[in-house]
Amino acid sequence: MKHRNVLLLVILLALALTACQKKSDNFVVGTSADYPPYEYVDEAGNLAGFDIELMAEIAKRMDVKIEWQDMPFDSLIQAVQEGKIDASISCFNYSEERAQLVDFSDPYHTSEDAFIAMKGFIKDFTKAEDAANYKLGVQSGTMQDEWITEELIETGLMSESNLSRYERVDQAALDLKAGRIDILMADDVPAGVIASQDDDLEIIYKEMLYTGPINIVLPKGSTDLQAKINRIIAELKAEGFIEKLAIKYFYE
């Protein structure tokens, strides 16, 4: 009886450990596919974009098969931490706060911050802090969210009640059009796409605030994986692959 109890305990522990682990043998990559042209869902229902194509090439050179997981942006870092996904590519900028939770690859691209508004609505906007005078919208968990929180709300320049956080940036764009917010703050490239798709919208200001180099998010302590991906990123830069990809998605 004692032996059977011990055996049962071993089996239960094994099942518990298995349940905590990722359910796939593939290389599972998380993204938030609402940020064109970096990541989005195309007309055929497939993931597409600069980040998606770049990660596909990295996985090819790693000789692994990607399994994509589309999830809200503000849940991606936690998913990497908990081992639910192996990595995340979703226009992530490095920050010291994030670096306490996860590791980052070397940068593969650079971005700026942008503010979008209805054409002609904002008359006097000469610096980023002028955004404090308006109702703002931002995607939750982004560097833009962090900048607004630290530089406008915590400094007392604006009330948090004037900030609306969104799970998806396209939701924020809809509220901008509807007049529920005055300004949407986002990465400059997706902001450019949003403005270019609607004649009533325009980018009113751009500056590198909390953004800059863009990196792939990796589990903390994954030095072998990090080194492998960094080597491939360096190869892709040297070959001109990333430059051609940027032209395809950002400038054509």
Domain boundaries, the chain: 12-110+213-251, 113-207
Rounded to whole angstroms, the Cα distance separating 86 from 102 reads 11
pLDDT at 243 over 90: yes
Amino acid 3: pLDDT: 39
β 213-218/103-104 pair status: antiparallel
Rounded to whole angstroms, the Cα distance separating 183 from 173 reads 9
Per CATH, 12-110+213-251 and 113-207 having the same topology is answered: yes
Amino acid 124: pLDDT: 87
Nearest to 97 by CA among 233, 209, 210, 188: 210
DSSP tally for the chain: helices H, then strands E: 9, 14
pLDDT at 182 over 50: yes
pLDDT at 170 over 60: yes
pLDDT at 139 over 90: yes
Average pLDDT over every residue of 109-119: 94
Choice among 6-10, 116-120, 125-129, 235-239 with the minimum mean pLDDT:
6-10
Taking all residues of the chain, what is their mean pLDDT, rounded to a whole number? 90
Amino acid 23: pLDDT: 54
Amino acid 24: pLDDT: 57
Rounded to whole angstroms, the Cα distance separating 68 from 65 reads 10
Amino acid 46: pLDDT: 97
* Domain at 12-110+213-251, CATH from 3.40.190.10, 3.30.1120.80, 3.40.50.2300, 3.40.50.720: 3.40.190.10
Most confident of 166-170, 218-222, 243-247: 218-222
Rounded to whole angstroms, the Cα distance separating 80 from 87 reads 6
CB of 205 within 8 A of CB of 184?
no
DSSP-derived 3-state class of residue 94: coil
Give me the architecture of the 113-207 domain, per CATH.
3-Layer(aba) Sandwich (3.40)
Nearest to 117 by CA among 204, 196, 199, 208: 204
Amino acid 10: pLDDT: 39
Average pLDDT over every residue of 154-179: 96
Comparison of pLDDT for 231 and 168, the residue scoring more: 231
